[in-house]
Amino acid sequence: DAGVIQSPRHEVTEMGQEVTLRCKPISGHNSLFWYRQTMMRGLELLIYFNNNVPIDDSGMPEDRFSAKMPNASFSTLKIQPSEPRDSAVYFCASSWFAHSNQPQHFGDGTRLSIL
């Protein structure tokens, strides 16, 4: 069974450009999470969806960040315009339910570098 699939694995772009990160959750999972990993703050939850609906986006750093989940099998995290401080590894994860103790299954991440 395929795990969580993220693309691209690596993204290098110039400051000011739009960046779109993509995620395909595990089939049947109804909760999807976006995280950002940095050395200083570890894994930070940016936003999560239940049944394609955004539930908590309090972790989204600012208006330059937006996330969508148009259907149960696809989500995007967009940064526009991008800045060097956005450089990090971004992870997507999915689980059966967010409101439970079900462990989350993570993708392998997108390493984003903004020059």
Q: Does 53 bind another protein (CB under 8 A)?
A: no
Bridge-partner residues for 26, per DSSP? Answer: none
> Measured from the CB atom, is 8 or 16 closer to another protein?
8
Q: Should residue 40 be labelled a site residue for another protein when binding is judged by CB under 8 A?
A: yes
19, 47, 93, 112: residue in contact with another protein (rule CB under 8 A): 93
Q: Tell me if 104 contacts another protein by CB under 8 A.
A: yes
Q: Are the beta carbons of 110 and 13 closer than 8 angstroms?
A: no
- Give the dihedral sign, CA 5/25/101/42: positive
Residue where the block lists tokens 């994860």: 93
Nearer to another protein by C-beta: 16 or 61? 61
At closest approach, how far in Å is the CB of 108 from another protein?
5
Q: Is 107 in the site for another protein (CB under 8 A)?
A: yes
Q: Which residues contact 61 (CB under 8 A, 6 or more apart)?
A: 46
Q: What are phi and psi of 86, to 5 degrees?
A: -80, -10
Q: Which residues bind another protein (CB under 8 A)?
A: 4, 33, 35, 39-45, 48, 56, 91, 93, 98-99, 101, 103-109
